Chain A
Amino acid sequence: MPLKFPFRARRESYPPDLWTQCPGCGQMLFNKHLDRDLRVCAACGHHFRLTATARLAQLLDPGTFSERDEGLIPVDPISFVDSRAYADRLEAARTATGLRDAAVWGFGSIEGRRVAICVLDFGFMGGSMGSVVGEKVARAAEGALAESLPLIIVSSSGGARMQEGTLALMQLVITLGALDRLRAAGVPFVSVMADPTTGGVFASFASVGDVNLAEPNALIGFAGARVSAGTIADELPPGFQRSEFLLSHGFIDRIVHRSALRAELARILGYLAPAGGGSGSGTREASRG
């Protein structure tokens, strides 16, 4: 495949491992400062995307994360090839991210409160949901149910992974089924939508939190804006498919700045799961099914 931007990284006079340009305001940000600021631009508040590792580090008490199902790896169920084979794309994504697929889940603590948590990583094929991501979301919900711990899912995904065909589409059913059983058992689920949360991820687990949170100005929507604009002649309203648009239309409870997210989650869980991990599971289990 021809390289489209062969010089971009090298053209900058700033060494890219030291500096990052903010797509929000154009400022060059010193990476050390950007990390210190949780990868939010100090000048304009633009929230950069986070790796799964960085997200977990920001939200959880240090040293409390214990990953589950880290051995799940994707396969190429329909031998999908476009300009490039799916298997090659997977290999490239693995090399680039150090991840095996776009989701990581496990148990950890937020301000001393045990939770099950699953985070998506946009860097791995756009955070797209294929069989591994769907399975991990479902297992996170089942882990939360088994231990009667609140579930947090942080989404950052372009939607279903085309390269797995309808098997990717079936992950909508798998994740929603697992979350439905969690809901029936009275175990809370908080959905956090980061940039972007779109397509089949927004049309499945991300939409159905007991509480839906979003980071500021995240792209959140079902159909791509280009699809919407191209297919249908509507003028798109201002702020279309941004967090604030979703809030004003009633599909998000709160927009939370990244610096406040950890405390906000702890506060909400303090209401929905006041006893903390493990207790009260008897009555909840009884109401299941």
Chain B
Amino acid sequence: MVDRLLGLAKQAEHPPQAAPAAPPDPRATVWASVQLARNPRRPHTLELLAELASEFAELHGDRLFGDDGAIVGGLARIDRFRVVVVGHQKGSDTEENIRRNFGMAKPEGFRKAIRLFELAERFGLPVVTFVDTPGAYPGAEAEERGVAEAIARSIGAMTRLRVPIVSVITGEGGSGGALAIAAGDVVIALENAVYSVISPEGCASILWRTPEKAADAALAMRMSARDQQALGVVDVVVSEPGEGAHVDPAETARRLRAVIIEYLTTLAATPPDELVALRARRYRSLGAFQDLGPGPEPTPVERPGLADRLRRAFEAGSRTLGDTIGGRTVGGRDQREDVGRLQEDDE
């Protein structure tokens, strides 16, 4: 597992996919994965557990507000391991999807996850999470009950947990609502799973100004499982049977089971202190930047006159300055281009 501390930002060309004959269009390929990841017949947490666990006792509720159907959890036996499971649950039909809120968790879902993580730690049980969500529920009630705080606390809990965590991206890894239960020691992804910082439609709406460019956004964000593996965000990709997981859920679960057991075995042998330290290092390595060191500043931070004056010039329209606000367009890039040109004029 030490090998997982991969080098950064390795650029992957688009990997060859199953489709043989025609030269694969990378945009079409990633978009096909997005569609497969969202296929309602794709097996979700409970369907996978039915195949890969010999027993599952669901535990309900966050002890604070309610029980969120979009995140399920409980006690399970996977091979010889007694584990705590937490996973998103989408519905396979409309009725169930309404009950499950399409896998979009509210604060109480994330707080249920936190509660179960802490339960696992108290009793020394490893955690296995299954990730498949378009994102956290973006409605007013979620904001009122502190969805951002709940996500932050859940991620924070995962960083300090002294038991192994195996995370599996089974479908859609949608932004913070996915990451809230995905910060494992190891991150496994199904072949057609996707993982992104914002939904492709949301990204396209902001940067292309139309959701119709979602496939372009999906490609630009490199959200396919293979691309995520190349970045080091995903450690291992598990191939899906046939045309995708939905054609053979049992076989999909069987393949996942083998990989989960392999990692549980390795992680169970790692002392808790080391586990927590390795986990911290794993995530810390997932940043890409350069350090020029302290040396002399080519563009000093404290250059009061020009830059500040120019920026003030645009403060009048400051409500429209900037790129994104949690997925909304604020516009104003054009204005910043203007700032750059004004500065050139001035100098």
Contact = CB atoms under 8 A, between A and B. Distances in A.
Contacts of A73: 289-292
Contacts of A168: 197
Given A81-B220, A99-B301, A222 B138 contact: yes
Contacts of B334: 1-5
A20 interface: yes
A231 B138 CA distance: 8
B158 to A, nearest CB: 8
A133 B44 CA distance: 35
Interface string A66-81: 0101111111011111
Contact of A77 (B206, B231, B311, B335): B231
Nearest to A69: B291
B226 interface: no
A176 interface: yes
A202 interface: yes
Interface in A33-87: 39, 48-49, 51-54, 67, 69-75, 77-84
B266 interface: no
B145 A158 contact: no
Interface stretch (B16-24, B79-87, B251-259, B312-320): B312-320
Nearest to B196: A166
Nearest to A251: B146
Contact of B197 (A54, A135, A162): A162
B153 interface: yes
Given A162-B198, A172-B179, A199-B325, A167 B308 contact: no
B286 interface: yes
B250 interface: no
Interface residues of A, number: 112
Contacts of B292: 71-73
Interface string B261-283: 00000000000010010001001
Contacts of A165: 196-197, 221-223, 231
Contacts of A89: 333
Which 9 A-B pairs have CB atoms at the shortest separation, nearest pair first?
A224-B328, A199-B326, A126-B322, A223-B138, A77-B288, A131-B287, A71-B292, A177-B159, A198-B326
30 contacts: A4-B334, A9-B313, A16-B312, A20-B315, A48-B318, A71-B295, A75-B289, A78-B231, A94-B299, A96-B340, A123-B311, A126-B330, A131-B288, A135-B289, A159-B327, A160-B197, A162-B324, A164-B288, A165-B221, A166-B223, A176-B156, A177-B156, A196-B325, A223-B139, A227-B202, A227-B327, A232-B138, A232-B139, A234-B141, A250-B146
